[in-house]
Amino acid sequence: MSMKSVLETLESVNSKYLMFHAKTSDTDAGDAKFLFSAKDNLTSKDMETCAGSRILEGYFPAFDATVIAKMREAGGKLIGKTNMDEFGFGTFSTNSGFEIPRNPYDLERACGGSSGGSACAAAVFEDHVSLGVSTGGSICCPASFCGVYGIAPTYGRVSRYGLIDYGNSLDKIGILSAKAGDLRKYIGVIAGRDERDPTSCVQPELKNEGRRMKSVAVPKEGVEGLSKDVEAAFNNALEELRRMGIDVETVDMPSLKYAMPAYYVLATSEASTNLARYVGMRYGRQDGDYTLKFDEFFSGVRSRYFGDEAKRRILLGTFTRMAGYSDRYYSKARQVRQVVIQDYKRVLQDHDAVLAPTMPFTAPRFDDISKMSALDNYKADYLTVPANIAGTPHMSVPCGYGSDGMPIGMQFVADHWDEDVLFTMAEDWEKEFEMKRPEVGA
């Protein structure tokens, strides 16, 4: 598919899959070297940026996110801003103030979240790279559900300037693509120190040595609660890895079970402060009644335009950092993060990566999702959350297909700053694994 044909069919493809919140109307790629899309929580000068929230409707940022600027400088043309869970709050991209992207393998199923639109675009368009953002698994989960490669690099590897914050100590910008080679290529484009984001300024250089994994550790805690399809695909993948000459060893990582509650405490505590700025002034929705007193005015706008899950997480996060509760929740969660990091460091002394399935099940149907409770939703993240809370680089690669034909992914977690070993794994794996692309029709 040429760039021109992608642009010409953008409208009709999008009307089928609903991956884009905003998209280009250009039908000519000009002198672009490649096309890319970006999650809608990354600011773009030429396209509305809402982060999936109606409260931001009408926000046209005055500046490009550093990652978008870098992709453009490298010759990329931004074709669309991808649909997502509001502010990243979700596992299925169903918590959006706008459209909900459809899984390319089955339109009745979710793409995963929260970078669901990005995973969808990466699966549907050929030669397409999409920028995603992960806070608790929002790159790997949709990559797994949509059968593509996805990587979230080390916390601080990629500048977050221009990212609409969810949890500032957790957010990482990464890449989704159907091609393994794109991970190394485009992380190379977007990584690096940026004086506009202090957390990007301590990173060591990104290595490109092609170092191969010799051994991977599979935590017992990571193979519990799996669906039959996922278990079978994962076991086949382990066999394949052994055939490739990689040692596979089962290990104990007792801290992993604490990662989920610790993650939700940290993420919502931070999110509730990040979302405090949305009060109906300065940007986005500005249609409140100014004759109301400020408390009433702010509460009115926020209650009107925040979605259900955003409200839930704001309430949860406000509670967990409140005087009297903060020690039990917020401070303890911060400590648990350190414990999880130590657990990874311990295992990664003897292994090149920690490996487990990315998600415990394949992409669920929308009607099943609607029956899940909030806690059920949170619990679905138990496999992706630990690496995210630890800030360690992690990558989902497609590793099989279920009896329902839906893609299954497995997730490798490497040590801080060691993206190279993940890139190489993806490149080697791609040669062994037979990927089934979805049938795409507009």
Partner 1 sequence: MDRETVERVARTAHIKLTEDEIRRYGNDLAEILTYFELLDEAPGSEERGINPVEIADVLRNDEPRMEIDPDILLKDMDTYERYVRGPRLS
Partner 2 sequence: MKIGLEIHVQLPTKSKMFCSCPTTEAPGPNTHVCPTCLGMPGSRPVLNRKVLEYGIMLAKLLGCRVNDVTWFSRKTYFYPDMSKSVQITQYDNPIGEGGAYYLNGKKLIRITRIHVEEDPGKTKRVGDLSSLVDYNRSGIPLAEIVTEPDLSTPAEAREFLGQLIQDIRHVIDIPGDGERSIRCDCNISVGKERVEVKNVTGLKNVERALTFEVVRQTKILKAGGKIDRETRRFDEERGVTISVRKKEFEADYGYIDEPDLGIYRIKEMAESIKIRESPQKMTERLAQQYGIDQKMAKQLVNTSVELAELFENVAEKHGTQNAVKWVAGPVSSNWKSLETSGADPNSVMGIIDRFAAGEITDTECGIEIKCLMTGEDLESAKGAAGDLDNIVADYLDQNPGIIDDYRKNEKAANKAIGFVMKNSGGSYSSAEVVEAVKRLIESRL
Q: Is 281 exposed, middle or buried (0-12, 13-18, 19+ CB in 10 A)?
A: middle
Quick one: which of 36, 258, 401, 412 contacts partner 1 (CB under 8 A)?
A: 258
255-314 residues in contact with partner 2 (CB under 8 A) are 269-270, 272-274, 276-277, 279, 281-284, 290-291, 294-295, 298
The sheet carrying 20-23 orders its strands as 20-23, 76-82, 34-39, 128-134, 172-177, 149-152, 394-401, 407-413, 353-357, 215-219, 247-251
224 binds partner 1 (CB under 8 A): no
Query: Which among 23, 37, 39, 396 is annotated as catalytic?
Result: 39
49 binds partner 2 (CB under 8 A): yes
Distance, in Å, from the CA atom of 238 to the CA atom of 18, rounded to the nearest integer, reads 35
What residues pair up with 23 in beta bridges, in sequence order?
A: 80
Per-residue contact string for residues 24-43; x = within reach of partner 2 by CB under 8 A: ------------------xx
| Partner from partner 2, partner 1, none binding residue 165, C-beta < 5-8 Å depending on class | partner 2
374 binds partner 2 (CB under 8 A): no
51 binds partner 2 (CB under 8 A): yes
| Partner from partner 1, partner 2, none binding residue 43, C-beta < 5-8 Å depending on class | partner 2
Tell me if 362 sits within 8 A of 230, measured CB to CB: yes
Residue whose CB is less far from partner 1, 233 or 266: 266
Distance of CA 375 to the CA centre of its chain: 20
Instruction: Check the CA dihedral 242-414-375-123 and report its sign.
Output: negative
Residue whose CB is less far from partner 1, 202 or 209: 202
372 binds partner 1 (CB under 8 A): no
195 binds partner 1 (CB under 8 A): yes
Interhelix angle 3-17/116-124, rounded to 10 degrees, is: 130
Half-sphere exposure of 172 (CA within 13 A, CB side): 33
Q: Is 373 annotated as catalytic?
A: no
Distance, in Å, from the CA atom of 247 to the CA atom of 350, rounded to the nearest integer, reads 11
Identify the DSSP state of 328: I
- Least separation in angstroms between CB 303 and partner 1: 4
Q: Candidates 96-104, 117-125, 155-163, 404-412 — which segment interacts with partner 2 by CB under 8 A? A: 155-163
Q: Is 115 annotated as catalytic?
A: no
60 binds partner 2 (CB under 8 A): no
| Partner from partner 1, partner 2, none binding residue 227, C-beta < 5-8 Å depending on class | none
Residue whose CB is less far from partner 1, 102 or 321: 321
Distance, in Å, from the CA atom of 47 to the CA atom of 67, rounded to the nearest integer, reads 15
Q: Candidates 159-167, 179-187, 206-214, 344-352 — which segment interacts with partner 2 by CB under 8 A? A: 159-167
Hey, what are 109's tokens? 């199923």
Hey, what are 216's tokens? 């991977």
Q: Which of 27, 57, 52 is nearest to 42 (CA)?
A: 52
95 binds partner 1 (CB under 8 A): no
Residues in the chain: 442
Q: Is 138 annotated as catalytic?
A: yes
Quick one: which of 164, 253, 259, 310 contacts partner 2 (CB under 8 A)?
A: 164
What does DSSP say about strands 34-39 and 128-134: parallel, antiparallel, or unpaired?
parallel
Residue type, 271: A
Q: What are phi and psi of 237, to 5 degrees?
A: -65, -40
Residue 236: other Cβ atoms inside 10 A = 13
Q: Candidates 31-39, 160-168, 176-184, 336-344 — which segment interacts with partner 2 by CB under 8 A? A: 160-168
Query: Which among 37, 44, 53, 114 is annotated as catalytic?
Result: 114
298-357 residues in contact with partner 1 (CB under 8 A) are 298-300, 302-303, 306, 311-312, 314-316, 318-319, 322, 328-329, 332-339, 341-342
Distance of CA 76 to the CA centre of its chain: 21
State the catalytic residues. 39, 114, 138
Binding site for partner 2 (CB under 8 A): 42-43, 49, 51, 56, 59, 61-63, 65, 160-165, 168-169, 195-199, 202, 269-270, 272-274, 276-277, 279, 281-284, 290-291, 294-295, 298, 318, 321-323, 326, 330, 334
